[in-house]
Chains A and B, each alone.
Chain A
Amino acid sequence: MIADNKNPEINNLVVKLLKKTGKKGYYWGFFLLLIVIAGTYALVIQITKGHIVTGMRDNVAWGLYIANFIFFMGLSYASAIISGLLRLFRVSWRRPVIRITDLMTIISAIIGPLYILLCIGRIDRLHHLIVYARIQSPIIWDVFAISTFLIGGIIILYLGLIEDFALLRDNHFIKAGKLRKRLYKLLALRYNKSPEQTKILYNNLDLISALLIPVAIILSTILSWVFGLTLRPGWNSTIFGPYFVFASIYSGIAAIIVALWIFRKAYHLEKYITKVHFIKLGILLLVLSILYGYFTFNEYFSIWYSSEKWDTKLLAKLFDFSQYGWLFIFSNYVGILLPIIVVAVPWLRRINNIAVVSVIVIISLWIKRYIIVVPTLETTLFPIQDTREAWINYSPTWVEWSITIGGVAMICLLFMLVSRLIPIMPLKEALDKEKIGNKNIVPELWDFNK
């Protein structure tokens, strides 16, 4: 018998986290499912009728899907980087955040690649990517990198969960079905909390976290290279790699804040997820918004000042209020300056404000991806002529919107389903601090007192 069984705190948390789904939960689940079904219906239409049902045409051959792909992959890479850094630096407030971050890594890395598959005209020939793989193509780099990353992400999530599975297996106060208990037992891998096992577990967690950080940075860079390596105005830029890395982390922090806020409300976790967490993450958001804003300024200022022919054509589109002007202002001004103001001014620095600002950051960064992809494709080096009028400018069709929203709903639904099965907050780590005072059970990576 393990001491945790006598710990009312743990029981309390477990009951809170894994209680039966209420009526509200079912309604939400049903609602999300409907959206996913609508998206699936649109997908079936696209597959049967061909890409003609989308708004993409010969000039703008990539549209919403690629923007979604970059956005969700960005969230995923960012989560891996953030969770890795939180773990490796033993950040004291990481505990309620880290599981959500790890889940975000996996779930967006599952949904993201679906969008690039939607962009492919012949899904039936997907195996060609392996059979005829040409290592010179950035798409092949993406294929290998994403699969590597996904495996790493799953390992990290699972390693972090083993302690919790063991706790759930051993705790007799938790009311759970036989099947569920058996599942926890299976997943706990006979972990018995012996010092040797704990050491192996934490060493591996550190190792995989450390490995996943560079992998995620490389991946966001590869993501940017799909654009940066081409000869198109607005894309062919040397700062695109780091620019995408910081944009990813920026959006990732915002998404984590929003997820924290939702779970805090849904599970009444006010005791564990406190204002401190929101403020600390908010400060990270502020730092990243400055970094990201710095890159954004560099990117646009340099092409505006040198004013090469096509760059000027592109900027004219971006600055034109009848085209992309409002989107440009929203993503490059509101989405960067607002978090700085809200986090920097003490009396604005509140939980709800930070959550709302994070939602705005997420939207603005999605729009940013859109105005990276589409206006450049509309700015060809040739004057666009001799093609049908309707084929020149891009506007997404309902099919594309419906699949996009379906994907977002799918992410929420996956989060919901997973949170029914596994605790959304690390049970073990969350309570370590309370258990043995201020001394952490997790060994420090570097002991400076030696």
Chain B
Amino acid sequence: MAKKRKKSKSSRRKFIRTGITLGALTVTGSGIVSSLAKEEEQDSEKIKLLNQDGKLVEVASSKIKLYHKPAVSKKARKGISGRKFVMVIDLSKCGNARKCIDSCQKGHNLATDQEWIRVHLMKDNQQSDPYWFPKPCYHCDNPPCVKVCPVGATFKRSDNCVLIDVNRCIGCKFCISACPYSVRIFNWKDRYSYREKDTDYSPETSVPGQVGTVGKCDFCPDKSRNGELPYCISSCPMGALYFGDINEDTITNGDETLRFKKTIEERAGYRYLEELGTEPNVYYLPPVDRMYPFERGLKDLTEEQKARYNNVISKLQSDNETGQ
């Protein structure tokens, strides 16, 4: 008994991850869970799960298959039922380590010039200090990109995700022009990675891509189906990115789990350019009490990467000179 308790303590992260999967399981998996509950006595390893009625039940771990295939075709347009995915980004923690970009590119088989999450260097006004600003797709509730798509290749799902079906996309780029956040990118040339035949395409995985179509951050619903966090969230060394569910009122960066509403309320969470009426589902926590100066984010960059932030840096330098 004591052994079991210890184990459950040490695997808190595992528990949280399982918790995220729960929502997915409540509808699709609840039948399995309840039927498994009868057999639980026979197996030795047990896992605690919430059942549909909100009660904790113990289930034999060997009986639970956590892997869920990403949805395809019509099913992929509906979304995971009962979920409302949300992302919270703590700007005081981001130091431009760029691990989110790398892991996203690896996970989605992207080239280095295809960035589905970007890190901007923002300087709001002359008085304010610059800060790093990661920008995934905002998965708006009123998405301008979905409105203008002539063929319905991009769509809004019930679980908040705005996804793209590249099998349907004609590549007219209207969505790129319509997105006020410049999130979408075009697959300008054919790449070797597009020709992978062993992976089945799903709008949830966005792999493999196709030349002449549009791609963007997809909130990794395929990972959520399997109780994992999106690539960017789990790879952030600072834990600046949180992912969660509005319905469950929970967000996690993999290490700590917070209440979503309370966090937004207490830490003055906001949505970037909310006044456009797009109703984004990515919230930012203002860069107060920063963990380190922004310059540290420039340290490990290549010359080419540094050059991209020149507009802010050169302005800072000229401001310093005039100040002296």
- Which residues of A line the B interface, CB within 8 A? 49-52, 56-59, 61-62, 116, 119-122, 125-126, 128-129, 131-134, 136-140, 143, 226, 229-232, 377, 380-389, 391
Q: Which single member of A129, A230, A391 contacts B151 (CB below 8 Å)? A: A129
Q: Give the complex CA separation of A139 and B309 in angstroms.
A: 36
Which listed residue (A50, A59, A380) contacts B188, Cβ 8 A?
Answer: A50
Choose among A121, A143, A384 the residue that contacts B173 (Cβ–Cβ < 8 A).
A121
Nearest neighbor of A231 in chain B, beta-carbon distance = B180
**Cross-chain contact A121 with B212 (CB below 8 angstroms):** yes
Taken together as a complex, chains A and B put the C-alpha atoms of A353 and B66 apart, in Å, by 79
Known: A58-B186, A122-B171. Contact between A381 and B148, CB under 8 A?
no
Nearest-Cβ distance from residue A379 to partner chain B, whole angstroms: 10
Kindly state whether residue B32 has any CB partner on chain A within 8 Å: no
Which single member of A57, A137, A230, A391 contacts B177 (CB below 8 Å)?
Answer: A230
- B190 contact set on A, CB distance < 8 A: 50
- Across the interface, which residues of B come within 8 angstroms of A61, CB to CB? 173, 176-177, 186
Contact of B169 among A119, A122, A387 (CB under 8 A): A122
Chain A nearest CB, measured from B213 CB (Å) = 6
Find out whether the CB atom of A231 lies under 8 angstroms from the CB atom of B120. Answer: no
Q: Is the CB of B212 within 8 A of A122?
A: yes
Q: Name B113's contact: one of A131, A132, A388 (CB within 8 Å).
A: A388
Cβ of B180 and Cβ of A132 under 8 Å apart?
no
Instruction: Let me know if A377 and B178 touch, CB within 8 A.
Output: no
Q: Select one of A57, A126, A383, A391 contacting B312, CB under 8 A.
A: A383
Please pick, from A116, A134, A140, A231, the residue contacting B144 in the complex, using a CB distance under 8 A. Answer: A231
Distance of A59 Cα from B151 Cα, bound (Å): 22
A128 pairs with B151, CB closer than 8 A: yes
How distant is the Cα of A95 from the Cα of B214 in the complex, in angstroms?
Answer: 50
A117 CB to nearest B CB, Å: 10
Give Cα A383–Cα B122 distance, bound, in whole angstroms. Answer: 8
Q: How would you classify the secondary structure of chain B's contact residues: helix, strand, loop or mixed?
A: loop
Q: B131-152 interface mask toward A, CB cutoff 8 Å, 1 = contact, 0 = none?
A: 0000100000000100111111
A121 and B150: CB pair below 8 A?
Answer: no
Once the chains bind, are B213 and A122 in contact (CB under 8 Å)? yes
- Asked, given contacts A59-B182, A62-B173, A382-B182, whether A51 binds B121 with beta carbons under 8 Å apart, the answer is no
Known pairs A50-B211, A120-B172, A385-B309 / 20 extra A-B pairs, C-beta < 8 Å: A58-B185, A119-B173, A121-B211, A121-B213, A122-B169, A122-B212, A122-B213, A129-B151, A132-B153, A134-B151, A137-B147, A137-B151, A139-B150, A143-B150, A229-B148, A230-B148, A231-B276, A381-B273, A383-B122, A389-B304
Q: Are A386 and B118 in contact (CB under 8 A)?
A: yes
Would B119 and A386 count as touching, CB distance under 8 A? yes
> Which of B115, B168, B307 is close to A132, meaning CB atoms less than 8 Å apart?
B168
| Complex CA–CA separation, A382 to B182 (angstroms) | 7
Check: B195 CB closer than 8 A to any chain A CB.
no
Can you list the 8 inter-chain pairs with the closest CB atoms, starting with the nearest?
A: A121-B171, A121-B212, A52-B189, A139-B150, A137-B150, A61-B173, A132-B151, A61-B176
> Which chain A residues border B144 with CB–CB below 8 Å?
230-231
Beta-carbon nearest neighbor of B167 in chain A: A125
Q: How far is the CA of A57 from the CA of B148 in the complex (A)?
A: 20
Known: A134-B149, A137-B149, A137-B150. A121 touches B186 (CB 8 A): yes
Instruction: Say yes or no: is B311 at the interface (Cβ < 8 Å to chain A).
Output: yes
Q: With the chains together, A62 CA to B118 CA distance in Å?
A: 22
Contact of B152 (CB < 8 Å), options: A51, A58, A134, A226: A134
**A121 near B170 (CB under 8 angstroms)?**
yes
Known: A134-B149, A380-B182, A383-B312. A232 touches B177 (CB 8 A): yes
Chain B 151-189 interface residues, beta-carbon cutoff 8 Å to A: 151-153, 168-174, 176-178, 180-182, 184-189
Cα–Cα, bound, A229→B180 (Å): 12
Contact B212 A51 (CB under 8 A): yes
Other-chain contact of A138, B148, B171, B182, B184 (Cβ < 8 Å): B148
Please, could you name 28 A-B residue pairs with CB atoms under 8 Å apart, sorted by A? A50-B188, A50-B189, A56-B173, A56-B188, A59-B182, A61-B176, A116-B172, A120-B171, A120-B172, A121-B171, A121-B186, A126-B170, A134-B150, A134-B151, A134-B152, A137-B174, A139-B172, A140-B150, A229-B178, A230-B178, A231-B276, A232-B180, A383-B121, A385-B120, A385-B121, A385-B308, A386-B120, A387-B308
Expressed in whole angstroms, the minimum distance between the Cβ of A72 and any Cβ of chain B is 18
Chain A residues near B152 (CB-CB < 8 A): 132, 134
Contact A382 B212 (CB under 8 A): no
A387–B311 alpha-carbon span in the complex (Å)? 13
Task: Please measure, in the bound complex, the distance between the C-alpha atom of A388 and the C-alpha atom of B111, giving whole angstroms.
Answer: 13
Expressed in whole angstroms, the Cα–Cα distance for A49 and B188 within the complex equals: 9
Tell me the minimal C-beta distance from A109 to chain B in angstroms. Answer: 19
Most buried by B among A59, A61, A388, A389: A61
A232 CB to closest chain B CB, in angstroms? 7
Q: Is the CB of B170 within 8 A of A51?
A: no
Would A231 and B178 count as touching, CB distance under 8 A? yes
Looking at the assembled complex, report how far the CB atom of B175 sits from the nearest CB atom of chain A, in whole angstroms: 9
In the complex, chain B residues whose CB is within 8 Å of the CB of A128:
151, 153, 168, 170
Q: Which of A49, A143, A389 is within 8 Å of B307, CB to CB?
A: A389
Q: CA A128 – CA B170 in complex, angstroms?
A: 7
Contact yes or no, B147 A136, CB < 8 A: yes
What's the least CB distance linking B154 to chain A, in Å? 10
> When chains A and B are docked, how far (Å) is the Cα of A447 from the Cα of B187?
62
Q: Are the CB atoms of A133 and B151 closer together than 8 Å?
A: yes
A139:B120 contact, CB within 8 angstroms: no
Taking a contact as CB atoms closer than 8 A, the residue among A58, A133, A381 that contacts B150 in the complex is A133
Chain B contacts for A139, CB-based, 8 A: 148, 150, 172, 174
Within 8 A of A (CB), among B294-318: 304, 307-309, 311-312
CA distance A137 to B120 in the complex (A): 31
* B115, B169, B176, B304 pick with most chain A CB within 10 angstroms: B176
With contact pairs A125-B170, A129-B150, A129-B151 given, residues A385 and B186 touching in the complex (Cβ less than 8 Å)? no
Residues of A contacting B210 in the complex (Cβ-Cβ under 8 angstroms): 122
Q: Which residues of B contact A120 (CB under 8 A)?
A: 170-172, 212
Q: Is the CB of A383 within 8 A of B213?
A: no
Q: Within 8 Å CB of B147, what residues of A?
A: 136-137
- What B residues does A122 contact at CB under 8 A? 169-171, 210, 212-213
- Residues on A with C-beta less than 8 A from B168 are 125, 128, 132
A121 to B166, CA, bound (A): 11
A236 to chain B, nearest CB (A): 9
* Contact for B148 among A137, A143, A377, A387, CB less than 8 A: A137
Name the CB-closest residue of A to B180.
A231
A377 and B173 alpha carbons, distance in the complex (Å) = 12
B171 touches A382 (CB 8 A): no
CB distance from A352 to the nearest CB of B (A): 41
Q: Are A387 and B115 in contact (CB under 8 A)?
A: yes
Are B177 and A377 interface neighbours, CB within 8 A?
yes
Among candidates B120, B149, B177, B311, residue contacting A62 with C-beta atoms closer than 8 Å: B177
